[in-house]
Amino acid sequence: MKIFNALLLVPFAGLLWVPFYNFQTPMLFGFPFFYWYQFAWVPVTSVLIWLAWKKGAQS
């Protein structure tokens, strides 16, 4: 497995372990942590997928 493909496991682990983000506080713009934590993973995951694709294509 290439090292950049292993980056794809980061969002999987970060979102799979629910007790890590099952909280009300801190709130951001009135949204509980539970919601904005999950939403924050959308751009992070996009960047990690792009990075794995870009670096994987060069090898």
Cβ-contact 15, 41 below 8 angstroms: yes
The pLDDT confidence band at residue 59, using thresholds 50, 70 and 90, is low
Give the model confidence (pLDDT) of 1-43 as tens digits: 578 788 889 999 998 988 888 888 899 899 999 999 999 999 9
Q: Looking at the whole model, is its pTM more than 0.75?
A: yes
d(CA 36, CA 2): 31
Q: Mean of the pLDDT values across residues 39-55? A: 92
What integer pLDDT is reported at residue 18 of this predicted model?
87
Q: What is the pLDDT of residue 4?
A: 78
